[in-house]
Amino acid sequence: MTLNNDIVLSRLQEKFADGILEAYINFDQLNIEIVPAFAAEILRFLKEDEEMGFNYLTDLTAVHMPEQAGKEIGVVYHLHNLYANYRLRLKAWIPEADPVISTASGIWLGANWMERETYDNFGVRFDGHPDLRRILNVDHMEIFPLLKQYPLEDSSRDDKDDRFFGR
């Protein structure tokens, strides 16, 4: 059983003509940007279709790009087909104002905590998640700390001049 970029991309494009936005290759790995509303369908298809067979969810995380108006937060899925040894990266961009995407925890059990971590850090609400609570940070934290508007150091300090730190 073999899989390659062309097979995966053409199968996805024929099945979800409206769900695929863009595809590009980055360091030999196929990246596909998908419409967030199609996320659950596409992921389920990728897992359950016999030819696709992505039986292993390697990683699920997010990235914040504040300059992309209307699609600031990207939810990133790393999938792996262990039989064909083929890796795929999916991205769905959602607005920071209303960061909702459907959960993958019904497809891979392991997505449960990965989604909780992503919620904890970015505030992405995974629709249909059984137990979406903070996991690493304290429960009463009011911000989502990995968003770029929260600087690492206290921005009110004036004794630290960026010039002296090579920044």
Partner 1 sequence: MTEQSIFGEDFLKTEEKQYNTLNLGPTHPATHGVFQNILQMDGEIIMSAEPTIGYIHRAFEKLAERRPFYQVTPITDRLNYCSAPINNIGWHMTVEKLLQVESPKRVDYMRVIIMELARISDHLVCNAVLGVDAGALTGFTYMFQERERIYDMFEELAGARLTTNIGRVGGFERDFTPGFHAKLKDFLAGFPKRFEEFDRLITRNRIFMDRVVNVGPISAEKALSYSFAGPNLRAAGVDYDVRVMNPYCSYQDFDFKIPVGTQGDTFDRFMVRQNEIRESLKIINQAYNNLPEGNFHADCPEFYLPKKEEVYNSMEALIWHFKIVMGEVDLPPGEVYHSVEGANGELGYYLISDGGRTPYRLHFRRPCFIYYQAYPEMIKGQMLSDAILTLSSMNVIAGELDA
Residues near partner 1, by CB under 8 A: 26-27, 29, 31, 55-59, 61, 63-64, 76, 78, 82, 85, 87, 89, 108-110, 112-114, 117, 121, 134-138, 145-146, 152-153, 166-167
Minimum separation from the CB atom of position 145 to partner 1 (A): 6
Q: Report how far residue 46's alpha carbon sits from residue 81's, in angstroms, rounded to the nearest whole number.
A: 9
Residue among 66 and 127 whose Cβ is closer to partner 1: 66
Minimum separation from the CB atom of position 14 to partner 1 (A): 27
Residue among 37 and 91 whose Cβ is closer to partner 1: 91
Residue among 37 and 71 whose Cβ is closer to partner 1: 71
Query: How big is the chain, counted in residues?
Result: 167
Measured CA to CA in angstroms, residue 19 lies from 93, 95, 125, 129 at distances of: 12, 17, 20, 22
Minimum separation from the CB atom of position 20 to partner 1 (A): 19
Residue among 18 and 156 whose Cβ is closer to partner 1: 156
* β partners of residue 77: 60, 90
Contact 61, 115 (CB under 8 A): no
What helix, strand, coil percent values describe the chain, rounded to 5?
25, 30, 50
**20 contact partners, CB below 8 Å, separation of at least 6:** 9, 12, 13, 32, 33, 34, 35
For residue 166, give the DSSP letter. T
Joined together, the tokens standing for residue 87 give 């890796």
Residue among 10 and 49 whose Cβ is closer to partner 1: 49
Minimum separation from the CB atom of position 31 to partner 1 (A): 8
Minimum separation from the CB atom of position 18 to partner 1 (A): 25
